[in-house]
């Protein structure tokens, strides 16, 4: 049961969400392109650095070569002078100068050699940066083309959704629409689903009366805490409960727990049953259900003390403890019959518990291998 106005609001909310998503996507695309362009600028800078390193090396090499030429001219000048010297000391001094100049030439030649070795690495750096840049340029062109195409598609969809949205709004009661818009403006959404007795948007538990009003779907109900318009979708409750059942490893029921479910293979004349115990303020209650039909057997029994003390005769050796903790209010709502989904949950947990017990039994009864196989 759901009011047509609320049903329309759910559709309107979906449209509003889609519109928001499209707007965000349209806004995000240029940012993505900008991020790639920034990366591109970084690669360009690396290439420029690599190129200027090569240029700097070339300039240094020319300087060393000029220095060598200058030194060679000096040496030939000293040689000319040495022909005209008068004393042995003057001759020695010139020889000394020539030796110095030759040493300098060798030092410059070493530096040129070093640059030649470096040049290979520098050349590689330039080539790598050029290749990177080329790849990034191609990528950015593709990204830009994609972004343009996506934006065009998004804008087309956005226009369609805006049209649908305007039409939807005319189908909702004006007061309700105002409430929806007002809350949506401050909280982002104006509508909230109710699940497990909670407003899913603000996570606050509803009062039982409010919850029942929402479930019945006969009037518009607003969350006391967040003011969102509430709705209940019965198709959503089942998978949530089913999902709490562990698929492979079974969760073990807690010993100390206010709720306890059991399975008994035989319960007087009734055969297989599920038993639900709930402790509440020093008392405990018991409900018994048929495992195949889910039908309740007998009335709810209440006794003094928590259930282990109150119902010792039910906790037989062959009773199997199961997972399950539905609130008592829910049990009351189920009335004379367990819902199919609950029955499924219990049956699956029972299967897992039995499989586990079987595995444990096999481990314990496996023959222990002989310690001395050679002796046998
Ligand atoms: Zn709320």
Per residue in 153-210, pLDDT tens? 999 999 999 999 999 999 899 999 999 999 999 998 999 999 989 999 999 999 989 9
CA atoms within a 13 Å half-sphere pointing along the CA-CB vector of 160: 8
Tell me the CA–centroid distance for residue 110 and ligand 1, in Å. 80
Residue pair 98/78 in contact by the 8 Å Cβ criterion: yes
Tell me the CA–centroid distance for residue 190 and ligand 1, in Å. 10
Tell me the CA–centroid distance for residue 203 and ligand 1, in Å. 6
Cα torsion angle, 358, 360, 365, 370, sign: positive
H helix or E strand, kind and range, residue 194: strand 191-195
In the prediction, which pLDDT does 246 show?
47
Please return the burial class of 261, using the count of CB atoms within 10 Å of its CB with bins 0-12, 13-18 and 19+.
buried
In the prediction, which pLDDT does 276 show?
94
Tell me the CA–centroid distance for residue 106 and ligand 1, in Å. 86
In the prediction, which pLDDT does 249 show?
67
Mean pLDDT value across residues 234-238? 71
Tell me the CA–centroid distance for residue 218 and ligand 1, in Å. 19
Per-residue pLDDT tens over the stretch 23-67: 999 999 888 888 888 989 999 999 999 999 999 999 999 999 999
| Separation in Å, CA 178 to CA 9, 18, 20, 181, 291 | 12, 20, 19, 5, 50
Tell me the CA–centroid distance for residue 216 and ligand 1, in Å. 18
Res. 232: pLDDT tops 90: yes
Tell me the CA–centroid distance for residue 23 and ligand 1, in Å. 26
Protein residues within 5 Å, CB atom, of ion ligand 1: 199, 202, 223, 225-226
User: What span, in angstroms and rounded, lies between the C-alpha atoms of 199 and 237?
Assistant: 13
Tell me the CA–centroid distance for residue 220 and ligand 1, in Å. 14
Mean of all residue pLDDT scores within the chain: 87
Helix (H, G, I), strand (E, B) or coil at 326: coil
Tell me the CA–centroid distance for residue 224 and ligand 1, in Å. 7
Tell me the CA–centroid distance for residue 257 and ligand 1, in Å. 29
Tell me the CA–centroid distance for residue 13 and ligand 1, in Å. 16
Tell me the CA–centroid distance for residue 287 and ligand 1, in Å. 33
Tell me the CA–centroid distance for residue 202 and ligand 1, in Å. 4
Q: Which two tokens stand for residue 75?
A: 């040496």
Res. 313: pLDDT tops 90: no
CA atoms within a 13 Å half-sphere pointing along the CA-CB vector of 375: 4
Tell me the CA–centroid distance for residue 192 and ligand 1, in Å. 7
In the prediction, which pLDDT does 54 show?
94
Res. 370: pLDDT tops 90: no
In the prediction, which pLDDT does 373 show?
45
Location of structure tokens 């829910």? 330
The DSSP output letter for 222 is B
Res. 236: pLDDT tops 80: no
The DSSP output letter for 295 is B
Tell me the CA–centroid distance for residue 226 and ligand 1, in Å. 4
| Separation in Å, CA 309 to CA 55, 260, 279, 284, 321 | 93, 13, 11, 9, 16
Location of structure tokens 């990528």? 139
Tell me the CA–centroid distance for residue 194 and ligand 1, in Å. 9
Mean pLDDT value across residues 75-99? 94
The DSSP output letter for 337 is B
Tell me the CA–centroid distance for residue 114 and ligand 1, in Å. 75
Q: Which two tokens stand for residue 200?
A: 């899913």
Tell me the CA–centroid distance for residue 71 and ligand 1, in Å. 91
Tell me the CA–centroid distance for residue 21 and ligand 1, in Å. 23
Tell me the CA–centroid distance for residue 230 and ligand 1, in Å. 8
Q: Residue 291's closest CA among 312, 318, 267, 314? A: 267
Q: Range with the lowest mean pLDDT among 88-92, 237-241, 311-315?
A: 237-241
In the prediction, which pLDDT does 173 show?
92
Q: Range with the lowest mean pLDDT among 193-197, 238-242, 268-272, 364-368?
A: 238-242
Percentage of the chain modeled with pLDDT above 90: 56
Helix (H, G, I), strand (E, B) or coil at 132: helix
At residue 231, φ and ψ (nearest 5 deg) are -145, 160
Tell me the CA–centroid distance for residue 210 and ligand 1, in Å. 12
Tell me the CA–centroid distance for residue 223 and ligand 1, in Å. 5
Mean pLDDT value across residues 68-83? 95
In the prediction, which pLDDT does 363 show?
66
């Amino acid at each position: 049961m759901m009011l047509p106005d609320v049903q329309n609001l759910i559709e309107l909310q979906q449209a509003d969400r889609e519109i928001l998503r499209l707007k965000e996507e349209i806004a995000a695309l240029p940012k993505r392109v900008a991020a790639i362009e920034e990366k591109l600028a970084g690669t360009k800078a690396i290439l420029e650095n690599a190129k200027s390193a090569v240029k700097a090396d070339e300039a240094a090499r020319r300087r060393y070569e000029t220095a060598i030429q200058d030194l060679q001219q000096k040496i030939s000048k000293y040689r000319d002078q040495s022909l005209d010297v008068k004393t042995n000391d003057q001759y020695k001094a010139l020889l000394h100068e020539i030796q110095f100049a030759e040493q300098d030439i060798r030092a410059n030649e070493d530096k040129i050699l070093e640059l030649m070795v470096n040049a290979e690495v520098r050349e590689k750096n330039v080539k790598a940066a050029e290749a990177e840049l080329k790849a990034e340029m191609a990528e950015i062109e593709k990204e830009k083309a994609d972004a343009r195409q996506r934006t065009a598609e998004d804008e087309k969809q956005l226009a369609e959704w805006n049209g649908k949205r305007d039409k939807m709004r005319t189908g909702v009661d004006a007061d309700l629409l105002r409430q929806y818009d007002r809350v949506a403006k401050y909280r982002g959404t104006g509508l909230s689903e109710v699940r497990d007795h909670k407003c899913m948007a603000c996570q606050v538990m509803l009062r039982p009366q409010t919850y029942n009003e929402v479930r019945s779907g006969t009037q518009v109900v607003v969350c006391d805490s967040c003011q969102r318009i509430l709705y209940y979708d019965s198709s959503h409750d089942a998978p949530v409960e089913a999902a709490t059942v562990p698929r492979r490893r079974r969760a073990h029921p807690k010993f100390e727990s206010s709720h306890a479910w059991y399975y008994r293979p035989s319960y007087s004349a009734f055969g297989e049953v599920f038993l639900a115990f709930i402790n509440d303020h020093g008392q405990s209650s018991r409900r018994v259900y048929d495992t195949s039909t889910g039908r309740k057997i007998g009335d709810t029994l209440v006794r003094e003390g928590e259930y282990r003390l109150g119902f010792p005769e039910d906790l037989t050796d062959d009773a199997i403890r199961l997972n399950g903790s539905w609130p008592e209010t829910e049990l009351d709502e189920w009335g004379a019959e367990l819902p199919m989904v609950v029955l499924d949950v219990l049956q699956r947990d029972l299967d897992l518990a039995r499989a586990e017990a079987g595995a444990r039994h096999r481990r314990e009864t496996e023959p222990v291998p002989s310690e001395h196989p050679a002796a046998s």
